[in-house]
Amino acid sequence: MPLVPRQLRPVCRRASATRNLPAKGTGREGIEKSFLAWKRRLLAQTFSSGLLLALALAWPAALSAAGVPLRDLVMISGARDNQLVGYGLVVGLAGDGDKDQVYTKQTVANLLQRYGVNIAATTLSQKNVAVVMVTADIPPFLKNGARIDVTVASMGDAKSLSGGVLLQTPLLAADGKIYAVAQGPLVLGGFAAGEGGAGGATVTKNHPTTAQIINGALVEQELPVKFVTDHTVELLLRDPSFNSASAMAAAINEVFTNSAQAMDSSSVKVQIPDGAEAAPVDFIARLNMIEVTPDTPARIIINERTGTIVATSAIRISSCAVACGNITINVAQSLDVSQPAPFSRTGSTAVTPRTSTSVTEAKSSLVPLEELPTVEKVASALNALGATPRDMMSIFEAMKQAGALRAELITR
């Protein structure tokens, strides 16, 4: 007779009914079937919960072990963007153009002369015209006829570029050659309305003197690009680091044996293997798919103008004590009226300025901070102090001077 668990052995009819066991009289076969069904349910529950637990434990490990594709960390030497710039005219501004600018009139006169209209520049009116600078970045490998985005910015004193159209403007590179031509209606992210001056009011949103033209320039000439030299491809790190360069070379050598060598903190040279010289594009595509875990430096970026603080996860703070206090100075100036005594025949009424100054200092205590090994604990400790972003900037700078901050501090 098989071994039957004690909890399944019916003691009374009520216990037998509540446990869903075979009714009395079914005999040995019914008890065995019930036990086998219970065993299958228990194994299924155990397997499912164990599998979920294993997946839950393996998921963070898989995320932490996953690297970053090489294409997101490097760029190919020789295959880079180039900057283009041009000088042009925007027309159709409905009175919001340049105001009596000599170069605007001369530019309009030169344009008209190209079409056979000879008019003195001093006789022209340019209220609907504005001179602009046009800039663009042209990526490598773009062929003749491709389109790129351009940015248009007013060069004179135009009030707004809203509703304007850019006339055909050649875009030149640093070598003085024309690589693209821009033209088209402008798209602004803001506006300017109203009349200025005494008693007037104006409303301005964003920058109405800067605009864009999406796909507004046609590529007229392909940039010369050479990304393979002596069967070697050079990878340039976007964030130079000796550790990252060494890790990249090691990861590449695992796929292509003895082909990569880290030259310095910003470049890794890769020798194209035998048999792949005829297809360098396919080789680079395989390089881009190799995953690398880059080195993340301990760094804090502070932007004083916007009050923005960004810190990497590698920052550390040694044990120290911090006290943060706020001092507010209010300076108010008002006007008083000084009058002579009543019925006095001498003296005159005079207006005299009066200045009042008050200083308010918030109370603060010295708070000890234990060693903070993670960025989460650093954020929690500073938030517990009630420090504002401006206060945190001063605290980080003071910690750096005291030697307690184990990170690079960059102020913008």
Q: What is the DSSP letter of 126?
A: -
Q: Kindly tell me if the per-residue pLDDT of 108 is higher than 80.
A: yes
Give the model's pLDDT for residue 404: 85
Stated pTM of the model:
0.63
Q: What is the mean pLDDT of the chain?
A: 79
DSSP letters, 345-400, are SS---EEEEEEEEEEEE-----EEE--B-SHHHHHHHHHHTT--HHHHHHHHHHHH
pLDDT tens digit string along 356-375?
777 666 666 666 767 766 77
Q: Which of 52-66, 351-365, 392-406 has the highest mean pLDDT?
A: 392-406
pLDDT band, residue 190 (cuts 50/70/90): low
User: Considering only 3-12, 32-41, 236-245, which range has the smallest mean pLDDT?
Assistant: 3-12
Q: When comparing pLDDT for 25 and 224, which is higher?
A: 224
pLDDT band, residue 327 (cuts 50/70/90): low
Quick one: average pLDDT of 248-262? 92
Quick one: average pLDDT of 249-263? 92
180: left (phi over 0), alpha (psi -120 to 50) or beta: beta
Give the model's pLDDT for residue 285: 92
The DSSP bridge partners found for residue 89 are 131
pLDDT band, residue 18 (cuts 50/70/90): very low
